[in-house]
Every structure is written in structure tokens, then in C-alpha cells.
């Protein structure tokens, strides 16, 4: 039961993009069209879940075991970079179609703060293994939801008459603000 609460909390209540401001670069960068947003979201969810597994294992059996916690940042970021590279190679070998649709987004995910952020959050909150996995998946799903909603709004926005100085980034940020307000409505959903 607790894992489901953690999942919902990471995906909706404490949405990584709109409540923790993580992953804003891709959120602003690839939210222009619906299908790219969906592909980016799926690729990120895949990586966040795998990262949660990997970093949990590294933290538990390497860093805590040998009292190397000060190396957390360095090892986590290297593990994430290596993981993304491996995933890219694996997808390229097994499914060319999937590689074509996700391929270009994978390298970008390394620098997505969500991935490193969730690894660090999972450590500070002392999640168990299963909790970390659901936390990682929830983070990815939350990112996907935010990205898809945003891309929908931005596709409509093409027809709107935006003042010249607000075009581009400013109006996107203002809309993200509105979206964050709306997501605050989920706050009463559960109390974890």
C-alpha cells in the first residue's frame, strides 16, 4: 500500500517538474509538439525507473558498506551516464523502430535533473528497494503527464495572440505557473 502512495505522491502531489522544479530544461525544450513530448516522457520514465534500481543498489552495497557516502554525487552521476549509454546501445541492437523514436532523446536524459534528483531524494528519505522503484517510476510518469499537458497547451498557443515581449520562454513559464497552481489542488489527495 505504501508503495502505491509513494507512486501517486511522486507523480501528482509532489510532481517533479511543477513542485520540485526538476527537469525544466527538457520541459521547456521538447514540449512544443504532442508526439515528441510523449516519446520523451516514455524514454525518461524508463530511465528513471532503472536509475532508481541501480543507484539504490550502489548506495546500499557499495557506498554504505564501505563508508564512502561523500562520493555519492560522483558515483551517481557516472552511474546514470553509463546507464543511459547502455540503454541506448541495448535499444539500438534489439529494436530499431524504438531506437528511431527514442534515440535522440536518450543522451539528453543524462543531464535531466529529475534522474539525479530522484536518486538523491530516495537516499535522503531512506526508501526501501521497492519504494525506490515505485518512486522512480512515479517521477517519470509525473514528468510525462506534465510534459503532455504542456505540449497540448503550447499547440493551442500557436493560434493565440501573445504580446511580443512575452513570446517564447516567458509565456511558457507563466503557463507552467498556472499548471503548478492547478497541480497544487492534488495536495489534499493523500497525506504522506
What is the spatial distance between Cα 51 and Cα 140, in angstroms, rounded to a whole number?
Answer: 11
Q: Which stretch binds other proteins (CB under 8 A): 14-22, 33-41, 91-99, 132-140?
A: 14-22
Residue 191 binds other proteins (CB under 8 A): no
Classify residue 102 by burial, with Cβ atoms within 10 Å: 0-12, 13-18, 19+: buried
Q: Which of 191, 182, 124 is nearest to 149 (CA)?
A: 182
The answer to whether 121 contacts other proteins (rule: CB under 8 A) is yes
Residue from 177, 189, 190, 192 touching other proteins (CB under 8 A): that is 177
Taking residues 53 to 72 in sequence order and writing x for each that binds other proteins by CB under 8 A, - otherwise, the string is: -----------------xxx
Instruction: State which residue, 79 or 141, has the beta carbon closest to other proteins.
Output: 79
What stretches of the chain show up as alpha helix (H) in DSSP?
Answer: 2-8, 24-29, 34-58, 72-94, 96-102, 106-110, 113-124, 129-157, 169-184
Residues that bind other proteins (CB under 8 A): 18-25, 28, 70-74, 77-78, 81, 111-113, 116-117, 120-121, 124, 163-166, 169-174, 176-178, 180-181, 184
Amino acid at each position: 500500500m505504501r508503495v502505491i502512495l509513494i507512486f501517486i505522491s511522486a507523480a501528482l502531489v509532489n510532481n517533479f517538474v511543477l513542485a520540485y522544479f526538476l527537469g525544466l530544461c527538457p520541459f521547456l525544450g521538447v514540449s512544443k509538439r504532442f508526439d515528441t513530448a510523449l516519446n520523451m516522457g516514455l524514454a525518461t520514465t524508463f530511465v528513471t525507473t532503472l536509475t532508481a534500481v541501480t543507484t539504490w543498489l550502489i548506495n546500499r552495497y557499495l557506498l554504505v558498506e564501505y563508508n564512502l557516502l561523500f562520493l555519492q554525487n560522483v558515483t551517481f552521476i557516472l552511474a546514470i551516464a553509463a546507464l543511459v549509454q547502455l540503454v541506448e546501445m541495448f535499444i539500438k541492437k534489439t529494436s530499431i523502430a524504438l531506437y528511431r523514436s527514442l534515440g535522440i532523446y536518450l543522451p539528453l536524459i543524462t543531464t535531466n535533473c529529475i534522474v539525479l534528483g530522484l536518486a538523491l531524494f530516495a537516499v535522503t528519505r531512506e526508501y526501501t528497494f521497492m519504494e525506490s522503484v515505485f518512486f522512480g517510476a512515479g517521477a517519470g510518469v509525473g514528468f510525462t503527464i506534465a510534459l503532455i499537458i504542456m505540449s497540448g497547451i503550447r499547440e493551442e498557443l500557436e493560434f493565440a495572440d501573445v504580446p511580443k515581449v512575452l513570446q517564447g520562454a516567458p509565456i511558457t513559464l507563466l503557463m507552467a505557473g498556472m499548471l503548478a497552481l492547478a497541480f497544487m489542488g492534488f495536495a489534499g489527495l493523500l497525506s504522506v
